[in-house]
Chain A
Amino acid sequence: DAGVIQSPRHEVTEMGQEVTLRCKPISGHDYLFWYRQTMMRGLELLIYFNNNVPIDDSGMPEDRFSAKMPNASFSTLKIQPSEPRDSAVYFCASSFTGRAGYTFGSGTRLTVV
């Protein structure tokens, strides 16, 4: 298995632009998580899905952030409009049942200038 695949690996965008981060989970995994990592706040859960349904989005910072999972093999995290404070590494992770721990993707480093 190729693991959890995220794209792009790096993204540099201007303030106010729309940014879309993509994730392909491991086949057969029924949970998908989006985390954000910053120096100040560490790793924070943004949202997670079970069988493509959003379960907990309480970590989504504000309405500028949205996430979708149209099918079991694809999810997106969108920021519109982007702001410099959104600069961070965004991780996608997937899991089968959750309790075994997650498999993380390589992350997307987002820089908003």
Chain B
Amino acid sequence: AQTVTQSQPEMSVQEAETVTLSCTYDTSENNYYLFWYKQPPSRQMILVIRQEAYKQQNATENRFSVNFQKAAKSFSLKISDSQLGDTAMYFCAFMKGGGSNYKLTFGKGTLLTVNP
């Protein structure tokens, strides 16, 4: 079974600075997908970024980028120019590739607070 570990329960950053959230996972699969979701106080789960394991290039979405280290099974999220609206819980998630099993396995989350 796959496991996803987020070792930082809470983090804080000053507005406009850069912060990196850590995520590691354990799997014997070679083909898989990784995701970061954001859950602000409104409770809505919002997809931030997605990475395909067979792509070496790190995914980027505006101020959000990932550092995907497949051999180390590490998938960290970097948020540049942090904004107050980035305050939220951030969840790392894993999905097996191949077949038709589309289950997302989530980590426990990291609560990020952006301070003015």
- Which residues from chain A sit less than 8 Å from chain B, CB to CB? 31, 33, 42-43, 45, 48, 50, 55-56, 89, 91, 93, 95, 98-104, 106-107, 109
Contact = CB atoms under 8 A, between A and B. Distances in A.
Main secondary structure of the interface of A (DSSP, over half): strand
A48 B103 contact: yes
18 contacts: A42-B108, A42-B109, A48-B102, A48-B103, A56-B101, A56-B103, A91-B45, A93-B45, A98-B95, A98-B100, A99-B102, A101-B104, A102-B47, A104-B37, A104-B46, A106-B42, A106-B43, A107-B45
A45 B95 contact: no
Given A99-B33, A99-B95, A104-B44, 11 more contacts: A31-B102, A33-B104, A43-B106, A48-B102, A48-B103, A50-B100, A91-B45, A98-B100, A99-B102, A101-B104, A104-B46
Contacts of B46: 104
Interface size class on chain B is 20 to 34
Q: Which one of B43, B44, B45, B101 has the greatest number of beta carbons of chain A within 10 Å?
A: B45
B45 A104 contact: yes
A106 B44 contact: yes
A102 B104 contact: yes
Contact of A89 (B43, B50, B106): B43
B20 to A, nearest CB: 21
